[in-house]
Structure 1
Amino acid sequence: MTSRTTLMPLLLVAVCLRGACAGSHSLRYFYSALSGPALPQFFTAGFVDDAPIDSYSSETRRDEPRAAWMEENEGPQYWERETQICRGWEPVLKENVRIAMGRLNHTRGLHTFQLIVGCELRDDGSTGGFYQYAYDGRDFISLHKDTLSWVAAMPAAEITQQRWNADRSIAEQEKAYLEGQCIEGLQRYLLNGKETLQRRERPETMVSHHKSGASNARLTCHAYKFYPREIEVKWFRNGVEMPAKFLPQTLPNPDGTYQIKTTVDIPEGEEEMYICRVDHSSLDNALDVKYEKKALPIGLIIGAIAGVVVLLAAAIGGIVIWRKRSAGQGGYAAANKGPINADSSSSTASA
Structure 2
Amino acid sequence: MIPVLLSLPLLLGPAVLQETGDYSLVFLYTGLSRPSKGTPRFQATAFLNDHAFFHYNSNSGKAEPAEPVGPWRQVEGMEEWEKESQLQRAREEIFLVTLRDIMDYYNDTEGSHTFQGMFGCKISNNKSSGAFWRYAYDGQDFIEFNKEIPAWIPLDPAAANTKQKWEAERVYTQRAKAYLEEECPAMLRRYLNYSSSYLDRKAPPTVTLTSRVAPGGNRIFRCLAYDFYPPRISLYWNRASKMLASESERGVFPSGNGTYLSWVEVEVPRQDGDPYFCHIEHSGLSQSLLVQWEETRKAKAESHGVARPQ
Question: What TM-score does the superposition give when structure 2 sets the normalisation length?
Answer: 0.76
Kept in 2: contact 1:225–1:257 (CA 8 A): yes
Which stretch shows the higher mean deviation, 168-177 or 99-108?
168-177
1:74 to 69, 77, 80: 77
Kept in 2: contact 1:148–1:168 (CA 8 A): no
Q: 1:294–1:155: structure 2 CA closer, same or farther, 3 Å change rule?
A: farther
Query: How far apart are 1:210 and its partner, in Å?
Result: 2.8
2:195 to 193, 207, 213: 193
Query: How far apart are 1:28 and its partner, in Å?
Result: 0.9
Question: What secondary structure does 1:45 align onto?
Answer: strand
CA distance in 1, matches of 2:273, 2:49: 37
Partner of 2:62: 62
1:78-89 to 2 correspondence within 5 Å?
78-89=80-91
CA distance in 1, matches of 2:208, 2:24: 30
1:205-216 to 2 correspondence within 5 Å?
205-214=207-216, 216=218
Kept in 1: contact 2:128–2:185 (CA 8 A): no
Query: How far apart are 1:170 and its partner, in Å?
Result: 4.7
Q: 1:161–1:268: structure 2 CA closer, same or farther, 3 Å change rule?
A: farther
Q: 1:62–1:271: structure 2 CA closer, same or farther, 3 Å change rule?
A: farther
Which stretch shows the higher mean deviation, 117-126 or 40-49?
117-126
CA distance in 1, matches of 2:244, 2:196: 37
Query: How far apart are 1:285 and its partner, in Å?
Result: 0.6
Question: What secondary structure does 1:86 align onto?
Answer: helix
CA distance in 1, matches of 2:260, 2:59: 31
1:34-183 to 2 correspondence within 5 Å?
34-38=32-36, 39-66=39-66, 68-71=70-73, 72-74=75-77, 78-122=80-124, 127-146=129-148, 148-161=150-163, 170-171=172-173, 173-183=175-185
CA distance in 1, matches of 2:87, 2:156: 30
CA distance in 2, matches of 1:168, 1:276: 57
Partner of 1:258: 260
Question: What secondary structure does 1:63 align onto?
Answer: strand
CA distance in 2, matches of 1:176, 1:52: 24
**TM-align CA RMSD:** 3.0
Aligned length: 275
CA distance in 2, matches of 1:169, 1:154: 23
Q: 1:46–1:278: structure 2 CA closer, same or farther, 3 Å change rule?
A: same
Kept in 1: contact 2:78–2:194 (CA 8 A): no
Q: 1:246–1:143: structure 2 CA closer, same or farther, 3 Å change rule?
A: farther
Query: How far apart are 1:224 and its partner, in Å?
Result: 0.9
Query: How far apart are 1:156 and its partner, in Å?
Result: 3.2
Kept in 2: contact 1:34–1:110 (CA 8 A): yes
Partner of 1:26: 24
Partner of 2:8: none
Residues 139-180 of structure 1 deviation map (CA, whole Å, 9 limit, x = unaligned): 222234455454444333344356667888755543432232
1:237 to 236, 239, 257: 239
Partner of 2:230: 228
CA distance in 1, matches of 2:113, 2:222: 39
Query: How far apart are 1:116 and its partner, in Å?
Result: 0.8
Higher relative contact order (CA 8 A, sep 6+): 1
Question: What secondary structure does 2:62 align onto?
Answer: coil
Question: What TM-score does the superposition give when structure 1 sets the normalisation length?
Answer: 0.68
Query: How far apart are 1:193 and its partner, in Å?
Result: 1.8
Q: 1:75–1:236: structure 2 CA closer, same or farther, 3 Å change rule?
A: closer
The gaps in structure 2 that reach 5 residues or longer are 1-18, 300-310
More helix by percentage: 1
Q: 1:283–1:126: structure 2 CA closer, same or farther, 3 Å change rule?
A: farther
